[in-house]
């Protein structure tokens, strides 16, 4: 995925998968994914969506439920991560992943895949949190704050699909800035945000 051919692809010809997970806590070591949302885009065209509650196979603490609104009752008949894993892999493969605070989301996904004896597929990753730190001047760099300051709806913040849609719009805002600065290819974008 990180070959020169991919880096030379124009921004409009690159498939971006925007991803967000909601979890039962903050540490991938002892918490689990309880919701995942992904949206694949090529240019302005949405080419796929995947949204699912995930049965984390552990309880969701009340204080965490208060943040994202997901309860044990809501996930008890949902697929486990293992049951959803092949669809998740299908969305990640052959695309560039975009997330806000990607280290958090991908840390959880990596651990969930390890638990079922698989590996998180290799992918180029762009983090809108890093973009915000380098290209913006926001009150703070939380997803909802940035969305509000850019006049993007932050309704339903902390639910996976809403967070994915906010991330996509924030990403498009920053890509517009980069295009004005001469960015044409994925490689041009990654030069500004080396991992």
| One-character DSSP codes across 28-69 | TTT--EEEEEEEEEETTEEEEEEEEE-B-SS---HHHHHHH-
Q: Are 32 and 57 in contact (CB under 8 A)?
A: yes
Is 158 marked active-site? yes
For the record, the structure tokens of 90 come out as 């299908």
Q: Are 21 and 108 in contact (CB under 8 A)?
A: yes
Candidate list 8, 68, 100, 158, residue with the active-site label: 158
Residue 18, SS3 per DSSP:
strand
Neighbours of 6 (CB within 10 A): 18
Name the residues annotated as catalytic: 158
């Amino acid at each position: 995925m990180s070959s020169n051919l991919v880096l030379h692809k124009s921004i409009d010809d690159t498939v971006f998968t925007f991803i967000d997970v909601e979890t039962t806590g903050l540490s991938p070591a002892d918490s689990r994914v309880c919701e995942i949302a992904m949206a694949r885009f090529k240019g302005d065209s949405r080419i796929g969506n995947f949204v699912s509650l995930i049965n984390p196979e552990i309880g969701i603490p009340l204080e965490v439920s208060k943040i994202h609104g997901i309860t044990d009752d809501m996930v008890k008949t949902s697929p486990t991560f293992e049951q959803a894993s092949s669809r998740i892999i299908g969305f990640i493969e052959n695309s560039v992943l975009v997330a806000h605070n990607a280290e958090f989301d991908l840390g959880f996904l990596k651990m969930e895949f390890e638990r079922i004896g698989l590996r998180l597929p290799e992918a180029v990753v762009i983090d809108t949190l890093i973009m915000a730190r380098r290209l913006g001047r926001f009150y703070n760099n939380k997803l909802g704050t940035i969305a509000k300051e850019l006049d993007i709806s932050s309704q339903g913040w902390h639910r996976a699909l809403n967070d994915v849609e906010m991330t996509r719009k924030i990403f498009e805002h920053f890509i517009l800035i980069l295009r004005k600065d001469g960015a044409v290819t994925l490689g041009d974008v990654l030069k500004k945000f080396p991992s």
